[in-house]
Amino acid sequence: MFRAVVNSEGPFTMTDSAAGRRRKLPEKEQLSRDAWLDAAQAAIVEGGFDNVRVLMLAKKLGVTRGSFYWHFKDHQDLITSFLERWRERRLRELSNWRPQGGDVEAELHRILGMLLSETGRHLRRMRVELAVRDLARRDAFAAEVVAEVDRARIAQNQQTLEQIADDPSGARDLSLLLYVATVGAQLVMTGPAADESTAARIEKLIANLVLEWHKRGGGELLPADSPTKQNRPS
């Protein structure tokens, strides 16, 4: 039963007769779509995509599966939504990779530092990326998402390298090599031997390679008469 209450700031309002008692909001209003995606990410960090199970997530979140079905059609919709969010975030962060007009070496270490340094802080993120790449081996949409992110990152690396070299002709090859090295570094740094010194050494090795290329003015990485070079599609 409701009773009228005079509001000093306006007309009448209606309150529940059980004053002071707050009604519990439905689960669909308590838990957001991102909360489910965050829970899925935590499960992926622990055990990959095979560890993402709706009932288990619901128990960890303290809700019923009804909340899940308010946001997602089914388990596959959850996985697809997670991949879409992962792609969006990875593409958006590329703006941080762009040169900021400083010293070439400092700029290079800044970019590599974002990719490789502070291993502990980025360990969860690295595990997620490796899980996405593993899923891409058997899932067509995941493969499409990974390919799009890879192309964008390599293109950004290439653009950065072209800006620091007199002869940018080898920038494409070097950007590809740089990217393969950083992806491989993720494998090393998510293993049992990962530590800050490993991350720092990998960063230094990659930086030295790029800086040597920069010091000689850029140019091709492979000789013009190299069989690999001759057979590479233009």
Vertex 122 angle, CA 96 and 50, to 5°:
115
Q: How many residues does the chain have?
A: 234
What would the two tokens of residue 158 be? 């290439």
Query: Residue 222 pLDDT > 60, yes or no?
Result: yes
Provide the domain count of the chain. Answer: 1
Query: Residue 168 pLDDT > 90, yes or no?
Result: no
Give 170's contacts (C-beta < 8 A, 6+ positions apart). Answer: 213, 218, 219, 220, 221
3-state secondary structure of 13: strand
Q: Are 203 and 113 in contact (CB under 8 A)?
A: yes
What is the per-residue pLDDT across 64-85, written as a single tens digit (0 to 9) for each?
899 999 999 999 999 999 999 9
- The predicted structure's pLDDT at residue 211: 82
Q: Tell me the sheet residues that pair with 184.
A: none
Question: pTM, whole model, 2 decimals?
Answer: 0.75
What would the two tokens of residue 219 be? 């140019």
Instruction: Calculate mean pLDDT across residues 168-179.
Output: 84
135 within some domain: yes
Q: Tell me the sheet residues that pair with 4.
A: 14
- The predicted structure's pLDDT at residue 228: 53
3-state secondary structure of 10: coil
Query: Residue 181 pLDDT > 70, yes or no?
Result: yes
Q: Are 48 and 131 in contact (CB under 8 A)?
A: yes
- The predicted structure's pLDDT at residue 68: 94
Q: How many CA atoms lie within 13 A of 188 on its CB side?
A: 17
162 within some domain: yes
- The predicted structure's pLDDT at residue 231: 56
Query: Residue 234 pLDDT > 90, yes or no?
Result: no
188 within some domain: yes
What would the two tokens of residue 80 be? 């697809």
What range defines the domain where residue 193 resides?
101-220
73 within some domain: no
- The predicted structure's pLDDT at residue 191: 67
- The predicted structure's pLDDT at residue 22: 40
- The predicted structure's pLDDT at residue 229: 52
Tell me how far apart the alpha carbons of residues 85 and 70 are, in angstroms, rounded to a whole number. 18
Residue with the larger pLDDT of the pair 131 and 224 = 131
164 within some domain: yes
192 within some domain: yes
128 within some domain: yes
Find which of 100-114, 145-159, 209-223 is predicted with most confidence, using mean pLDDT.
145-159
Q: Are 149 and 66 in contact (CB under 8 A)?
A: no
Residue with the larger pLDDT of the pair 4 and 156 = 156
Q: What is the number of other CB atoms lying within 10 angstroms of the CB of residue 97?
A: 17
What is the per-residue pLDDT across 7-57, written as a single tens digit (0 to 9) for each?
433 443 434 433 343 445 455 447 899 999 999 999 999 999 999 999 999
169 within some domain: yes
